[in-house]
């Protein structure tokens, strides 16, 4: 199975080029974005004109890049395309949970000590923000499976994360990812100005860098607190810290997933609760069902095209994370001598994905992977103690 996944992940990267970039050019999204950049206006769904901000930092190449990205994201954060805004909630949860997993992998001792490229998640984070989650996720996962010693032969020492980092990660993600995401979604002009909203969006783009900097700072400032304490229970203490991180990541994936589906289904079951103009926009088929890249679809607005882009971006990126988690899960069970039932695993993944989406399922599998590896280490230590006692 791991071999199949190794071959599938690069294929996902190739499919991304077609499903996202070629499709977006053919369906009219990219031409519409170029028109918006040339006219220096943002798409507002007919609710007036908003000027595109072009100066953020004073650095011309950087400012040009930030201004070029803004027309794509604007319909998702200004509320002019309700179905896009609702689906963007799902994407934000999926990407946030996925990035918790990637950040943890970057701090695993087996990756840090080896100096591997997967130990620098900020590189892939910036690629995801400027390129796409769908292209970056399978690329990262493939590199991890190919190069990481954890992927080949995991043990408790290799998968351990410094407790200064694991204890801080939920707070780091709240500060470095959730708060910037909320800030850029504040209504304009009722609460913040259009100019400020664009500035918040530009400040949101480097979120993976914020997370990496904060994690590094936490490790430098607080690592000494955990160097001499709980030596006899170091593995269990580390596992308890990781459990909190996994619980946080699972919540990040599950809450937006459930909320979006409840709102969408409520628009069908209880349409009277919604504004008449919103009911059609929030229908599950419109929000969640992808248009096939070869369908010949043409979009009339940036918001419509951005929805199609994000649908494939989330499906492909999350599939990459889930396949990677399956490979890590299978390797860990093989390492400890537990025979897997692929049917039971498929049912488990299906139930987890139903509740929390594909990335939520991946979080659950990676959580169990760690539990299995640490339990093996605990059993080994117990046998050594019994041997010494006897």
d(CA 3, CA 41): 48
Instruction: Give the DSSP per-residue string, 306-322.
Output: HHHHHHHHHHHHHHHHH
* Average pLDDT over every residue of 267-295: 92
User: Has residue 179 got a pLDDT over 90?
Assistant: yes
Q: Which domain holds residue 157?
A: 2-389
Contact status, residue 287 vs residue 87, Cβ threshold 8 Å: yes
The answer to whether residue 365 scores a pLDDT higher than 50 is: yes
Which tokens is 263 given? 């709102």
- What's the pLDDT score for residue 166? 94
Residue 378: per-residue pLDDT: 52
Q: What pLDDT is stored for residue 162 in this prediction?
A: 92
Residue 381 clears pLDDT 70, i.e. is over it: no
pLDDT at residue 90 greater than cutoff 80: yes
Our CA angle for 259, 260, 263, nearest 5°, is: 85
Q: By the 8 A CB rule, do 124 and 140 touch? A: yes
- Name residue 260's beta-bridge partners: none
- Overall number of domains in the chain: 1
For 63, other C-beta atoms within 10 Å of its C-beta total: 16
DSSP E strands in 125-199: the ranges are none
Is the confidence at residue 382, as pLDDT, over 60?
no
Per 3-state DSSP, what percentage of the chain is helix, strand, and coil (rounded to 5)? Answer: 80, 0, 20
Q: For residue 383, is pLDDT > 60?
A: no
pLDDT digits (tens, 9 = 90+) for 181-239: 999 999 999 999 999 999 999 999 999 999 999 999 999 998 887 764 444 456 677 78
What is the C-alpha to C-alpha distance for residues 220 and 197, in angstroms, rounded to an integer?
34
Task: Give me the chain's average pLDDT, please.
Answer: 90
Rounded-to-integer distance, Cα 295 and Cα 362, Å: 30
Token pair for residue 5?
Answer: 């996944």
Q: Are 281 and 83 in contact (CB under 8 A)?
A: yes
Angle at 6 between CA 3 and CA 8, to 5 degrees: 110
Least confident of 40-49, 258-267, 341-350, 373-382: 373-382
How much is the pLDDT for 389? 42
CA dihedral sign, ordered 94, 97, 103, 105: negative
pLDDT of residue 233: 54
Structural tokens at position 325: 């988690």
Place of tokens 């899960």: 329
pTM: 0.92
- 41 forms beta bridges with 51
pLDDT-based confidence at 259, cuts 50/70/90?
A: very high
Q: pLDDT for 304-356, tens place per residue?
A: 999 999 999 999 999 999 999 999 999 999 988 889 999 999 999 999 999 99
pLDDT at residue 390 in the model: 43
Structure tokens at 49: 């004109």
Measure the CA–CA gap between 3 and 386, rounded to whole angstroms.
39
Distance (Å, whole) CA 133 – CA 126 = 10
β-sheet bridge partners, residue 50: 42
| Cα separation of the two ends of the chain | 42
Residues in the chain: 390
pLDDT digits over 134-165, tens only? 999 999 999 999 999 899 899 888 999 999 99
């Amino acid at each position: 199975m791991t071999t199949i996944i190794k071959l599938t992940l690069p294929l996902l990267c190739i499919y991304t080029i077609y499903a996202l970039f070629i499709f977006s050019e053919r369906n009219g999204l990219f031409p519409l974005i170029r028109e918006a950049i040339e006219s220096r206006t943002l798409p507002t769904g007919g609710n007036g004109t908003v000027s595109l901000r072009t100066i953020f930092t004073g650095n011309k190449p950087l400012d040009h890049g930030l201004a070029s990205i803004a027309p794509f994201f604007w319909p998702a954060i200004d509320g002019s395309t309700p179905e896009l805004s609702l689906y963007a909630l799902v994407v934000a949860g999926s990407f946030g949970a996925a990035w918790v997993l990637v950040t943890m992998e970057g701090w695993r001792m087996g990756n840090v000590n080896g100096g591997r490229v997967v130990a620098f998640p900020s590189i892939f984070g910036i690629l995801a923000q400027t390129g796409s989650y769908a292209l970056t996720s399978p690329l990262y996962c493939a590199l991890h499976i190919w190069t990481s010693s954890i992927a080949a032969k995991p043990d408790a020492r290799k998968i351990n994360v410094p407790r200064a980092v694991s204890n801080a990660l939920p707070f780091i993600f709240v500060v470095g990812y959730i708060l910037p995401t909320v800030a850029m979604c504040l209504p304009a002009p009722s609460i913040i100005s259009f100019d400020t909203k664009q500035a918040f969006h530009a400040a949101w783009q480097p979120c993976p860098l914020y997370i990496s900097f904060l994690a590094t700072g936490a490790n430098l400032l607080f690592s000494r607190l955990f160097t001499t304490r709980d030596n006899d229970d170091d593995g269990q203490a580390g596992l308890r810290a990781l459990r909190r991180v996994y619980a946080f990541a699972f919540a990040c994936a599950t809450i937006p997933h459930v909320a979006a589906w409840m709102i969408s289904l409520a628009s069908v079951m209880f349409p009277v609760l919604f504004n008449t103009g919103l009911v059609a926009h929030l229908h599950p088929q419109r929000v969640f069902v992808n248009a096939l890249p070869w369908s010949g679809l043409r979009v009339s607005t940036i918001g419509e095209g951005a929805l199609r882009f994000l649908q494939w971006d989330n499906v492909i990126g999350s599939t990459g994370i889930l396949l990677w988690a399956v490979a890590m899960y299978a390797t860990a069970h093989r390492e400890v001598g537990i025979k897997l039932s692929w049917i039971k695993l498929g049912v488990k993944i299906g139930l987890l994905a139903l509740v929390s989406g594909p990335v939520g399922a991946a979080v659950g599998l990676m959580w169990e992977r760690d539990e299995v590896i640490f339990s093996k280490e605990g059993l080994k230590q117990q046998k050594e103690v019994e041997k010494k006692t006897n």
